Structure 1
Amino acid sequence: MRTKSEAKRQKILDVAAQVFREEGFERASMAEICARVGGSKATLYSHFPSKETLFFEVMFLSTEAEFEATHAALNPDTGDLGDALRHFGRRFITLLTSPEVMAVRRLIVSESGRSALGSTCYERGPKRSEGIMVAFLEKAVEAGKLRPGNLRVMTLHLRGLLEAELMDGFLFGIWETPPEGLVDGAVERAVEVFLRAYGQP
């Protein structure tokens, strides 16, 4: 059963999500969110010390289900490693290029050096993803599907290859959605290069 504090926190998140959808990050204000939630600003700020922190939490929660589904695609029991990596890669790119994740990435860049938001995002996003990917690749090495190596470096190389052809277009606002066929082609090429580098001869 939720405590009163937990229920209040959830209400703030629900209202904030609606305000951010309607107004966007820049135009949304903590005053407007507080007015819709009801209660004092002190209560709002006791849960979320800044608009940036609140925005991050809203975006994080909106992508959590997709994050879990994406990483569940890394099934160590899959027979064909290439197929498993391609399936994961397509879901991974879809997650990374979603409006919510791209909004958080841009916010982290703008807040760099001014708050602890970046480290919070890293712990709950990239670092958590990295741990799941490392565990998957470790199973693939144990099964003889990949050559032994530094698992963290292998993970970073895989992630970098998957992002290589697409991230600039999204980070710099060149694309709203990727050009048709680019994701599948980019994932195919990324997995091919990765398996050439780390696959068994």
Structure 2
Amino acid sequence: MRAKSETRRQAILEAAAEVFQETGFERTTMSAICDHLGYSKATLYNYFASKEELFSAVVFDATEAEFQASLEALDATVEDMTEALEKFGRGLLTLLYSPQVQAMRRLIVAEAGRSELGKKCYELGPVRNEAVVSAYLQQAMDADKLRPADARIAALHLRGLLEAEWLDRFLFQTLEPLSAEEMNATVERAIAAFMAAYGPVHG
């Protein structure tokens, strides 16, 4: 029974994500999501009490993949920091610039200023990721793999460098799909700049 319930919940999230992306948060109705699914309103409300709650769940479903990918990519067993950060960068950009996550990020940006949704989305995504990356960088600083610095600011700089070449094109929706070669080159340049700023100071 639990497996069936989880399958139905996932189907609702996937359908809701499609409808939200097509029509935006404000114009989306629970009725429209029901029509898209073929479920009754009673079934939908049994899982989610409101459109806001459903939207938050959709965002969490999308950002959870990013969060888990960050955890997996930050490999403390890799001794070489350039190698470790390049591994993280490739994983992060592959996810952020996938079509599904791009669509969800644009939807979040479009709706963020209209209600408390912006704060919720920020806490679900960037805040959690920043905490994980900051902790990882602090560990590296403590091990003399990076120079001592404010780990939170370093985490923000790392994210900024990784997205610097593509963020404007993403925001203005002029970004073509990235090839593996383009992404690898972007990551190498970003990590080289980061290590130039935060690499360990010897002697």
Query: Map of 1:2-17 to 2, 5 A cutoff?
Result: 2=2, 7=5, 11-17=8-14
d(CA) in 2 for partners of 1:167 and 1:140?
27
Shift of 1:103: 1.9
Shift of 1:71: 2.6
Give yes or no for contact 1:86–1:187 (8 Å, CA) kept in 2. Answer: yes
Shift of 1:185: 1.2
Shift of 1:59: 4.9
TM norm structure 2:
0.81
C-alpha spacing 1:23/1:189, structure 2 compared with 1 (3 Å): closer
Give yes or no for contact 2:21–2:103 (8 Å, CA) kept in 1. Answer: no
Query: Map of 1:1-201 to 2, 5 A cutoff?
Result: 2=2, 7=5, 11-18=8-15, 20-21=17-18, 24-26=21-23, 29-35=29-35, 36-40=38-42, 44=45, 47-50=48-51, 54-62=54-62, 64-65=64-65, 67-178=67-178, 181-201=181-201
> Is there any run of 5+ residues in structure 2 with no aligned partner, and where?
none
Match of 2:77, SS state, is: coil
One-letter code aligned to 1:57:
A
Shift of 1:148: 0.7
> Is there any run of 5+ residues in structure 1 with no aligned partner, and where?
none
Give yes or no for contact 2:106–2:171 (8 Å, CA) kept in 1. Answer: yes
d(CA) in 1 for partners of 2:113 and 2:19?
29
Shift of 1:101: 2.2
TM norm structure 1:
0.82
Matched residue count? 195
Alignment RMSD: 2.9
Runs of 4+ in 1 over 3 A off after TM superposition: 18-24
String of CA shifts for 1:4-54, please: whole Å, max 9, x gaps: xx94x863541351365489531865213234222438x62982522x653
Q: Percent of aligned pairs with the same residue? A: 42
